[in-house]
Each structure stands twice: as structure tokens, then as C-alpha cells.
Amino acid sequence: MSTTFQTAVKKDVSSTRRFEAIETLVRTNETTNLALLVRMDGLGGEFRRRALDGLADCHATAALEELADDKTIDPSLRRTAERLA
């Protein structure tokens, strides 16, 4: 896992830096890591939602469709993934 991904998930890092890390993942088209963020239970909803939006920005339709069908993630996130796919 990249240091950028690790920055996004560390709780002792400021929210600003965590959002910046997610933006970097979007810019570098790291769709696998963005999908992992969406699936992480311990990660705050605001970060998970930004990762979902980032997948849409990356045109990662297949990843969004997979998340929409994933019963292990929150239903609201699944609905958002379905809408963005």
C-alpha cells in the first residue's frame, strides 16, 4: 500500500491531509485503493464518500458497480455507488 493510502487512513493525521491524500489517489487514478477506502469500516463516512466521488471522477464504472452490489458496506454508500456508476 502506498504512503498516500496510509496517510488517508491514519487517524492521527489531520482531516485536511487525509482529504489531500484521497485527492492524490484520484489524480493518480488509484481506483483499487479508492475502492478499499470505501470498504473500510473504521474510516469516517466523509472520507469514504469522497473516495466514492473520486471513483466517479476516475470513470471507474466497474468498481462503482461492484461496490453497489457489496452487501458488506453501508446501504447509503451502496446507493451512492449505484447512482455514480
Which are the contacts of 4, defined by CB distance < 8 A and separation ≥ 6? Answer: 21, 24, 25, 28, 30, 33
Over 80: is that where the pLDDT of 80 sits? yes
Question: How would residue 2 be classed by pLDDT, with cut points 50, 70 and 90?
Answer: confident
Cell numbers for 82: 449505484
Rounded mean pLDDT, 71-76: 95
pLDDT one-digit tens code per residue, 7-60: 999 999 999 999 999 999 999 999 999 999 999 999 999 999 999 999 999 999
Q: Does residue 13 contact residue 45 with C-beta atoms inside 8 Å?
A: no
